[in-house]
Amino acid sequence: MLPAPPPRRILDVVARRAGIESGELRANKLDRESRHLFVETLKGLAVEIDGTLGFDQAEVTAGGLALSHVDRGTMRVKGFENLYACGEILDLAGPIGGFNFQAAFATAELAARDAVRG
Ligand SMILES: Cc1cc2nc3c(=O)[nH]c(=O)nc-3n(C[C@H](O)[C@H](O)[C@H](O)COP(=O)(O)OP(=O)(O)OC[C@H]3O[C@@H](n4cnc5c(N)ncnc54)[C@H](O)[C@@H]3O)c2cc1C
């Protein structure tokens, strides 16, 4: 599988640093030298992280109940009668883009179906 391309906003910054007008930012519009300069600038891009926005604004949190403690077909917590775990409480984090919602919905559905079956 090909890696996802970097976000457009990052590519625009790289282009500016490489002295390329953003309107020219198509591989087939760049000459060989500019393409090389663009790639080298991208590879050398250093991103300094100077902090986070804090837990209140966190969009993805990792950690939680280890998946090995949960039956994946029913979301029952192993060793506990009628206890289910789903969604964010699980040690399950995907990249931003709907994967966390999907994980929450899918695990909740599994738990609900099993709970209804009894
Ligand atoms: C700002 C932000 C943006 C996000 N954007 C995305 C995104 O774009 N795509 C994506 O996939 N994921 C996104 N996420 C992550 C996603 O929202 C979560 O993974 C998902 O909502 C988890 O679902 P959940 O049902 O497990 O938990 P939650 O959605 O947190 O639901 C838990 C519920 O339980 C309630 N609750 C808590 N304690 C109690 C209690 N004692 N009694 C009764 N109720 C209680 C809470 O009020 C809450 O309603 C985002 C998260 C944040 C914070």
Distance 88 CA to ligand 1 centre (A): 7
Q: Where are the domains of the chain?
A: 8-43, 60-117
The residue whose CB lies within 8 Å of the most ligand 1 atoms, and thus the one to mutate among 60, 75, 99, 109, is: 60
Q: What is the pTM of this model?
A: 0.70
The CA–CA distances, whole Å, from 109 to 7, 26, 67 equal 33, 44, 16
pLDDT in tens, the chain (118 residues): 677 888 888 888 999 999 988 666 777 788 899 999 999 999 999 989 999 898 888 877 778 999 999 999 999 999 999 999 999 999 998 877 889 999 999 999 999 999 999 7
Q: What is the pLDDT of residues 68-88, one digit of tens each?
A: 999 999 999 999 999 999 999
d(CA 107, CA 86): 5
Binding site membership of 59 for ligand 1 (Cβ less than 6 Å): yes
